[in-house]
Amino acid sequence: MTTRSLDSIVDIQVLVSPLAAARSSFNQTLIIGDTNVIPVSDRLKLYESAAEVLEDFALTDPEYIAANIYFSQSPAPDKLWIGRQDSGSGETLVEALQACREASAEWYIAICLGAEYADHVACAAYIETATPSSVYAYTTSDADCLTGTASPPDIFTYLKSLGYSRSIGQYATTQTAVYPNNIYAIVAIMGYACGQNSGLANSAFTLKFKQETGIAVEPLTSTQINIIEGNYGNLYLDYANYYTIFEQGRMADGTFFDERINLDMFVNNLQLTIMDLLYQNPKIPQTDAGVTQLIQACNEACDEAVRIGFLGPGTWTGPNILNLKTDDPLPAGYLVQAEALSTQTQADREARKSVPLYIAIKESGAVHSVLVGVYVNR
Protein backbone atom coordinates (compact mmCIF):
# COMPACT_ATOMS: atom_id res chain seq x y z
CA MET A 1 0.00 0.00 0.00
CA THR A 2 1.32 3.43 -0.97
CA THR A 3 1.30 6.10 1.76
CA ARG A 4 0.68 9.61 0.63
CA SER A 5 2.67 12.55 1.98
CA LEU A 6 0.95 14.93 4.38
CA ASP A 7 2.52 17.88 2.55
CA SER A 8 -0.59 18.30 0.43
CA ILE A 9 -2.66 18.75 3.60
CA VAL A 10 -0.26 20.31 6.07
CA ASP A 11 2.59 22.07 4.31
CA ILE A 12 5.22 23.20 6.80
CA GLN A 13 8.04 25.47 5.70
CA VAL A 14 10.99 26.00 8.02
CA LEU A 15 12.60 29.40 7.67
CA VAL A 16 15.86 29.92 9.53
CA SER A 17 16.88 33.53 10.01
CA PRO A 18 20.42 34.45 8.95
CA LEU A 19 22.88 34.68 11.80
CA ALA A 20 23.52 38.10 13.28
CA ALA A 21 26.86 39.59 12.34
CA ALA A 22 29.64 39.05 14.85
CA ARG A 23 30.44 42.19 16.81
CA SER A 24 33.93 43.68 16.57
CA SER A 25 36.41 42.91 19.32
CA PHE A 26 37.24 45.75 21.69
CA ASN A 27 39.34 43.74 24.16
CA GLN A 28 42.32 42.80 22.00
CA THR A 29 45.64 44.62 21.78
CA LEU A 30 48.29 44.51 19.07
CA ILE A 31 51.97 44.83 19.99
CA ILE A 32 54.37 45.48 17.10
CA GLY A 33 58.07 44.64 17.32
CA ASP A 34 60.90 43.83 14.91
CA THR A 35 62.23 40.59 16.39
CA ASN A 36 62.70 38.13 13.52
CA VAL A 37 60.15 35.51 14.60
CA ILE A 38 56.79 36.06 12.88
CA PRO A 39 57.26 35.99 9.10
CA VAL A 40 56.55 39.28 7.37
CA SER A 41 54.30 37.34 5.01
CA ASP A 42 52.07 36.43 7.99
CA ARG A 43 52.51 39.90 9.55
CA LEU A 44 50.86 39.07 12.89
CA LYS A 45 49.87 36.20 15.16
CA LEU A 46 47.31 35.73 17.93
CA TYR A 47 48.36 34.52 21.39
CA GLU A 48 46.24 33.60 24.41
CA SER A 49 48.89 33.51 27.16
CA ALA A 50 52.42 34.59 27.97
CA ALA A 51 53.43 30.92 27.85
CA GLU A 52 52.31 30.74 24.22
CA VAL A 53 54.38 33.83 23.40
CA LEU A 54 57.41 32.22 25.07
CA GLU A 55 57.11 29.27 22.69
CA ASP A 56 58.03 31.65 19.86
CA PHE A 57 60.06 34.40 21.53
CA ALA A 58 62.99 34.43 23.96
CA LEU A 59 62.76 35.72 27.53
CA THR A 60 64.78 38.78 26.57
CA ASP A 61 62.79 39.69 23.45
CA PRO A 62 60.82 42.93 23.81
CA GLU A 63 57.70 41.21 22.50
CA TYR A 64 57.79 38.62 25.28
CA ILE A 65 58.57 41.15 28.01
CA ALA A 66 55.65 43.31 26.90
CA ALA A 67 53.36 40.28 26.53
CA ASN A 68 54.24 39.07 30.02
CA ILE A 69 53.29 42.48 31.44
CA TYR A 70 50.06 42.47 29.41
CA PHE A 71 48.90 39.05 30.61
CA SER A 72 49.93 39.80 34.23
CA GLN A 73 47.17 42.36 34.81
CA SER A 74 44.07 41.76 36.92
CA PRO A 75 41.62 40.95 35.49
CA ALA A 76 43.81 39.32 32.88
CA PRO A 77 43.11 39.72 29.16
CA ASP A 78 42.82 36.55 27.11
CA LYS A 79 44.01 37.62 23.67
CA LEU A 80 47.06 39.47 22.34
CA TRP A 81 48.22 40.02 18.80
CA ILE A 82 51.92 40.40 18.06
CA GLY A 83 52.82 42.06 14.79
CA ARG A 84 56.08 42.15 12.86
CA GLN A 85 57.92 45.23 11.67
CA ASP A 86 60.34 44.46 8.83
CA SER A 87 62.93 46.96 9.98
CA GLY A 88 65.59 45.23 7.92
CA SER A 89 63.90 46.47 4.75
CA GLY A 90 63.56 50.00 6.11
CA GLU A 91 59.88 49.61 6.96
CA THR A 92 58.73 52.25 9.44
CA LEU A 93 56.52 51.50 12.41
CA VAL A 94 53.55 53.29 10.89
CA GLU A 95 53.95 51.21 7.73
CA ALA A 96 54.02 48.06 9.86
CA LEU A 97 50.94 49.32 11.72
CA GLN A 98 49.08 49.85 8.45
CA ALA A 99 50.05 46.37 7.28
CA CYS A 100 48.79 44.85 10.54
CA ARG A 101 45.49 46.68 10.15
CA GLU A 102 45.12 45.32 6.63
CA ALA A 103 46.00 41.83 7.84
CA SER A 104 43.42 41.76 10.63
CA ALA A 105 40.46 43.85 11.75
CA GLU A 106 40.21 42.06 15.11
CA TRP A 107 42.57 44.11 17.30
CA TYR A 108 41.45 47.44 18.77
CA ILE A 109 44.50 48.88 20.57
CA ALA A 110 47.92 49.24 18.93
CA ILE A 111 51.27 49.61 20.74
CA CYS A 112 54.55 49.96 18.84
CA LEU A 113 57.61 48.80 20.78
CA GLY A 114 60.67 51.00 20.40
CA ALA A 115 58.66 53.88 18.96
CA GLU A 116 60.14 57.37 19.19
CA TYR A 117 58.67 60.86 18.79
CA ALA A 118 58.30 60.76 15.00
CA ASP A 119 56.77 57.27 15.20
CA HIS A 120 54.20 58.41 17.75
CA VAL A 121 53.23 61.35 15.57
CA ALA A 122 52.85 59.20 12.45
CA CYS A 123 51.05 56.31 14.19
CA ALA A 124 48.67 58.64 16.05
CA ALA A 125 47.77 60.39 12.79
CA TYR A 126 47.10 57.07 11.05
CA ILE A 127 44.97 55.62 13.86
CA GLU A 128 42.86 58.77 14.08
CA THR A 129 41.15 57.85 10.79
CA ALA A 130 41.86 54.12 10.54
CA THR A 131 39.04 51.69 9.81
CA PRO A 132 37.75 49.94 11.82
CA SER A 133 37.99 52.34 14.76
CA SER A 134 41.15 51.84 16.80
CA VAL A 135 43.30 53.35 19.57
CA TYR A 136 47.04 54.10 19.60
CA ALA A 137 48.74 53.71 22.99
CA TYR A 138 52.33 54.68 23.76
CA THR A 139 54.91 55.23 26.50
CA THR A 140 57.32 58.16 26.48
CA SER A 141 60.28 59.06 28.66
CA ASP A 142 60.87 62.38 26.93
CA ALA A 143 62.13 64.81 29.60
CA ASP A 144 60.53 67.69 27.68
CA CYS A 145 57.18 66.39 28.94
CA LEU A 146 58.17 67.58 32.43
CA THR A 147 58.24 71.23 31.40
CA GLY A 148 55.80 71.42 28.51
CA THR A 149 57.76 74.37 27.07
CA ALA A 150 60.06 72.72 24.53
CA SER A 151 60.19 73.68 20.87
CA PRO A 152 59.23 71.59 19.00
CA PRO A 153 56.68 70.60 21.66
CA ASP A 154 56.82 67.36 23.62
CA ILE A 155 54.55 64.56 22.40
CA PHE A 156 51.78 65.21 24.93
CA THR A 157 51.61 68.90 24.08
CA TYR A 158 51.77 68.22 20.36
CA LEU A 159 49.03 65.57 20.21
CA LYS A 160 46.89 67.69 22.51
CA SER A 161 47.23 70.63 20.11
CA LEU A 162 45.96 68.38 17.30
CA GLY A 163 42.92 67.33 19.32
CA TYR A 164 43.48 63.62 18.69
CA SER A 165 40.80 61.50 20.36
CA ARG A 166 42.32 58.09 19.63
CA SER A 167 45.77 58.33 21.23
CA ILE A 168 46.64 57.72 24.87
CA GLY A 169 50.14 58.18 26.29
CA GLN A 170 51.91 57.50 29.57
CA TYR A 171 55.08 59.11 30.90
CA ALA A 172 57.44 56.56 32.47
CA THR A 173 61.20 56.23 32.80
CA THR A 174 63.53 53.37 33.64
CA GLN A 175 64.78 55.44 36.60
CA THR A 176 68.48 54.94 35.82
CA ALA A 177 67.80 51.41 34.58
CA VAL A 178 66.42 50.28 37.96
CA TYR A 179 63.05 49.60 36.33
CA PRO A 180 63.83 48.70 32.69
CA ASN A 181 60.33 47.37 32.04
CA ASN A 182 58.86 50.82 32.54
CA ILE A 183 59.45 51.46 28.85
CA TYR A 184 56.45 49.17 28.33
CA ALA A 185 54.30 50.90 30.96
CA ILE A 186 51.30 51.61 28.74
CA VAL A 187 51.06 47.90 27.95
CA ALA A 188 50.03 47.26 31.56
CA ILE A 189 47.04 49.58 31.68
CA MET A 190 45.90 48.44 28.23
CA GLY A 191 46.11 44.86 29.51
CA TYR A 192 43.80 45.84 32.36
CA ALA A 193 41.40 47.53 29.94
CA CYS A 194 41.19 44.45 27.72
CA GLY A 195 40.76 42.14 30.71
CA GLN A 196 38.02 44.26 32.25
CA ASN A 197 36.15 44.86 28.99
CA SER A 198 34.50 41.44 29.07
CA GLY A 199 31.03 42.44 27.90
CA LEU A 200 29.51 41.15 31.14
CA ALA A 201 26.91 43.12 33.09
CA ASN A 202 28.41 46.20 34.78
CA SER A 203 31.80 45.62 33.12
CA ALA A 204 32.22 49.30 32.15
CA PHE A 205 35.27 50.81 33.84
CA THR A 206 37.51 53.81 34.33
CA LEU A 207 41.30 53.58 34.08
CA LYS A 208 41.91 55.84 37.07
CA PHE A 209 42.85 54.17 40.38
CA LYS A 210 44.01 50.95 38.67
CA GLN A 211 47.29 49.16 39.34
CA GLU A 212 49.88 48.43 36.68
CA THR A 213 51.34 45.07 37.61
CA GLY A 214 55.05 44.90 36.73
CA ILE A 215 55.46 48.69 36.49
CA ALA A 216 57.07 51.03 39.03
CA VAL A 217 55.54 54.37 40.04
CA GLU A 218 57.15 57.51 38.65
CA PRO A 219 58.78 59.84 41.25
CA LEU A 220 57.71 63.32 40.16
CA THR A 221 57.10 66.68 41.78
CA SER A 222 53.61 68.16 42.01
CA THR A 223 54.60 70.73 39.39
CA GLN A 224 55.76 68.06 36.95
CA ILE A 225 52.60 66.01 37.52
CA ASN A 226 50.40 69.03 36.88
CA ILE A 227 52.25 69.85 33.65
CA ILE A 228 52.02 66.32 32.26
CA GLU A 229 48.40 65.82 33.24
CA GLY A 230 47.56 69.33 32.04
CA ASN A 231 48.71 68.20 28.60
CA TYR A 232 46.62 65.03 28.95
CA GLY A 233 49.52 62.70 29.58
CA ASN A 234 49.00 59.85 32.05
CA LEU A 235 51.05 58.68 35.02
CA TYR A 236 51.51 55.86 37.53
CA LEU A 237 51.85 57.41 40.98
CA ASP A 238 52.06 56.64 44.68
CA TYR A 239 49.58 58.03 47.22
CA ALA A 240 49.99 57.91 50.99
CA ASN A 241 52.81 55.35 50.68
CA TYR A 242 50.19 52.68 50.04
CA TYR A 243 48.07 53.31 46.95
CA THR A 244 49.74 52.98 43.56
CA ILE A 245 47.36 54.17 40.87
CA PHE A 246 47.19 55.00 37.20
CA GLU A 247 45.78 58.44 36.45
CA GLN A 248 43.95 60.16 34.77
CA GLY A 249 43.06 57.87 31.86
CA ARG A 250 42.78 60.66 29.30
CA MET A 251 43.18 60.61 25.55
CA ALA A 252 45.22 63.31 23.80
CA ASP A 253 42.16 65.54 23.41
CA GLY A 254 41.25 65.30 27.10
CA THR A 255 38.37 62.84 26.83
CA PHE A 256 38.58 59.72 28.95
CA PHE A 257 39.62 56.36 27.52
CA ASP A 258 36.53 54.60 28.86
CA GLU A 259 34.31 57.06 27.02
CA ARG A 260 36.23 56.49 23.79
CA ILE A 261 36.06 52.69 23.91
CA ASN A 262 32.43 52.57 25.04
CA LEU A 263 31.32 54.96 22.29
CA ASP A 264 33.17 52.86 19.73
CA MET A 265 31.46 49.73 21.06
CA PHE A 266 28.07 51.44 21.06
CA VAL A 267 28.39 52.70 17.48
CA ASN A 268 29.55 49.29 16.28
CA ASN A 269 26.70 47.47 18.01
CA LEU A 270 24.13 50.03 16.83
CA GLN A 271 25.27 49.80 13.21
CA LEU A 272 25.23 46.00 13.19
CA THR A 273 21.90 45.75 15.02
CA ILE A 274 20.21 47.92 12.40
CA MET A 275 21.95 46.04 9.60
CA ASP A 276 20.82 42.70 11.07
CA LEU A 277 17.23 43.98 11.06
CA LEU A 278 17.47 44.88 7.36
CA TYR A 279 19.28 41.65 6.51
CA GLN A 280 17.03 39.22 8.37
CA ASN A 281 13.64 40.51 7.21
CA PRO A 282 11.93 40.39 3.79
CA LYS A 283 11.68 44.18 4.06
CA ILE A 284 11.23 47.03 6.50
CA PRO A 285 8.26 49.04 5.18
CA GLN A 286 8.23 52.81 4.93
CA THR A 287 5.36 52.97 7.39
CA ASP A 288 4.89 53.74 11.05
CA ALA A 289 5.29 50.01 11.73
CA GLY A 290 8.62 50.02 9.88
CA VAL A 291 9.86 53.03 11.79
CA THR A 292 8.87 51.28 15.02
CA GLN A 293 11.04 48.32 14.02
CA LEU A 294 14.00 50.62 13.43
CA ILE A 295 13.47 52.34 16.76
CA GLN A 296 13.31 48.98 18.51
CA ALA A 297 16.64 47.99 16.93
CA CYS A 298 18.18 51.19 18.29
CA ASN A 299 16.64 50.47 21.68
CA GLU A 300 18.33 47.06 21.70
CA ALA A 301 21.77 48.62 21.16
CA CYS A 302 21.07 51.20 23.87
CA ASP A 303 19.89 48.51 26.29
CA GLU A 304 23.19 46.68 25.79
CA ALA A 305 25.09 49.88 26.68
CA VAL A 306 22.97 50.19 29.82
CA ARG A 307 23.60 46.53 30.72
CA ILE A 308 27.38 46.90 30.73
CA GLY A 309 27.12 50.16 32.69
CA PHE A 310 28.07 52.71 30.02
CA LEU A 311 24.69 54.45 30.00
CA GLY A 312 22.52 55.29 32.97
CA PRO A 313 19.53 57.40 34.05
CA GLY A 314 19.98 61.13 34.37
CA THR A 315 18.85 64.53 33.16
CA TRP A 316 19.28 65.58 29.54
CA THR A 317 21.38 68.76 29.52
CA GLY A 318 21.95 68.84 25.77
CA PRO A 319 19.99 70.74 23.10
CA ASN A 320 16.35 70.17 22.28
CA ILE A 321 15.86 67.13 20.03
CA LEU A 322 12.35 66.70 18.64
CA ASN A 323 10.20 66.01 21.72
CA LEU A 324 13.16 65.87 24.11
CA LYS A 325 13.84 69.19 25.81
CA THR A 326 16.79 70.42 27.86
CA ASP A 327 16.47 69.36 31.53
CA ASP A 328 14.04 66.54 30.68
CA PRO A 329 14.68 63.31 32.62
CA LEU A 330 16.12 60.28 30.81
CA PRO A 331 15.07 57.49 33.18
CA ALA A 332 16.29 54.74 30.86
CA GLY A 333 19.59 56.48 30.08
CA TYR A 334 18.58 57.04 26.48
CA LEU A 335 15.73 58.06 24.19
CA VAL A 336 15.26 57.07 20.54
CA GLN A 337 13.02 59.24 18.35
CA ALA A 338 12.17 59.50 14.66
CA GLU A 339 10.84 62.27 12.49
CA ALA A 340 7.22 61.87 11.36
CA LEU A 341 6.68 60.11 8.05
CA SER A 342 4.57 63.08 6.95
CA THR A 343 7.70 65.25 6.93
CA GLN A 344 9.60 63.02 4.50
CA THR A 345 10.12 64.32 0.98
CA GLN A 346 8.84 62.33 -1.95
CA ALA A 347 12.37 62.11 -3.33
CA ASP A 348 13.64 60.44 -0.13
CA ARG A 349 10.67 58.08 -0.11
CA GLU A 350 11.29 57.08 -3.73
CA ALA A 351 14.96 56.56 -2.86
CA ARG A 352 13.73 54.20 -0.09
CA LYS A 353 15.37 56.13 2.69
CA SER A 354 14.24 55.92 6.28
CA VAL A 355 13.13 59.02 8.10
CA PRO A 356 16.01 60.29 10.28
CA LEU A 357 16.41 58.68 13.71
CA TYR A 358 17.71 60.56 16.74
CA ILE A 359 19.30 58.88 19.76
CA ALA A 360 20.00 60.84 22.93
CA ILE A 361 22.22 58.95 25.38
CA LYS A 362 23.29 59.75 28.93
CA GLU A 363 26.63 58.34 30.03
CA SER A 364 26.73 56.91 33.54
CA GLY A 365 30.11 58.61 34.08
CA ALA A 366 32.59 57.73 36.83
CA VAL A 367 33.63 59.29 40.14
CA HIS A 368 37.28 60.42 40.08
CA SER A 369 37.30 62.65 43.15
CA VAL A 370 35.19 63.32 46.22
CA LEU A 371 34.60 66.49 48.23
CA VAL A 372 33.47 65.88 51.82
CA GLY A 373 32.48 68.63 54.20
CA VAL A 374 33.00 67.81 57.89
CA TYR A 375 31.17 70.07 60.33
CA VAL A 376 32.29 69.90 63.94
CA ASN A 377 30.12 71.19 66.76
CA ARG A 378 31.44 71.43 70.31
Residue 278 lies in a domain: yes
The whole-angstrom separation of Cα 87 and Cα 62 is 15
pLDDT for residue 193: 97
Q: What are phi and psi of 295, to 5 degrees?
A: -65, -40
Q: Environment class of residue 285 by beta-carbon count within 10 Å: exposed (0-12), middle (13-18) or buried (19+)?
A: exposed
Average the pLDDT over each of 21-25, 207-211, 215-219, 374-378 and give the range with the smallest value.
21-25
How crowded is residue 353: how many other Cβ atoms within 10 Å of its Cβ?
A: 12
Handedness of CA 94, 96, 102, 108 (dihedral sign): negative
pLDDT band at 211 (very low <50, low <70, confident <90, very high): very high
- pLDDT of 343 above 90: yes
Query: Are both 34 and 82 inside the same structural domain?
Result: yes
- Residue range 235-277, pLDDT digits in tens: 999 999 999 999 999 999 999 999 999 999 999 999 999 999 9
Query: Are both 240 and 269 inside the same structural domain?
Result: no
pLDDT for residue 19: 63
pLDDT band at 84 (very low <50, low <70, confident <90, very high): very high
Query: Are both 133 and 282 inside the same structural domain?
Result: no
Query: Are both 197 and 270 inside the same structural domain?
Result: no
Residue 8 lies in a domain: no
Q: What are phi and psi of 279, to 5 degrees?
A: -75, -35
pLDDT band at 20 (very low <50, low <70, confident <90, very high): low
**Count: domains in the chain:** 2
Mean pLDDT along residues 31-39 = 97
Among 195, 230, 260, where does a domain finish? 260
Query: Are both 244 and 343 inside the same structural domain?
Result: no
Residue 91 lies in a domain: yes
Residue 21 lies in a domain: no
Query: Are both 230 and 266 inside the same structural domain?
Result: no
- pLDDT of 108 above 80: yes
Residue 94 lies in a domain: yes
- pLDDT of 15 above 70: no
pLDDT for residue 3: 77
Provide the whole-model pTM: 0.92
Residue 378 lies in a domain: no
Mean pLDDT along residues 309-329 = 96
pLDDT for residue 25: 82
Query: Are both 94 and 223 inside the same structural domain?
Result: yes
pLDDT for residue 5: 77
Query: Are both 96 and 203 inside the same structural domain?
Result: yes
pLDDT for residue 203: 94
pLDDT for residue 7: 74
Q: pLDDT above 90 covers what percent of the chain?
A: 93
- pLDDT of 331 above 80: yes
Query: Are both 205 and 330 inside the same structural domain?
Result: no
Residue 13 lies in a domain: no
pLDDT for residue 251: 97
pLDDT for residue 18: 67
Give the 3-state secondary structure of residue 36.
coil
Total residue count of the chain as it appears in this document: 378
Query: Are both 164 and 193 inside the same structural domain?
Result: yes
- pLDDT of 33 above 70: yes
- pLDDT of 2 above 80: no
Mean pLDDT along residues 115-142 = 97
pLDDT for residue 16: 64
How crowded is residue 298: how many other Cβ atoms within 10 Å of its Cβ?
A: 21
Query: Are both 126 and 225 inside the same structural domain?
Result: yes
Query: Are both 182 and 278 inside the same structural domain?
Result: no
Residue 87 lies in a domain: yes
Q: How far is CA 368 from each of CA 256, 314, 327, rounded to the nearest angstrom?
A: 11, 18, 24
Which residue segment(s) compose the domain that 341 sits in? 262-361
pLDDT band at 1 (very low <50, low <70, confident <90, very high): low
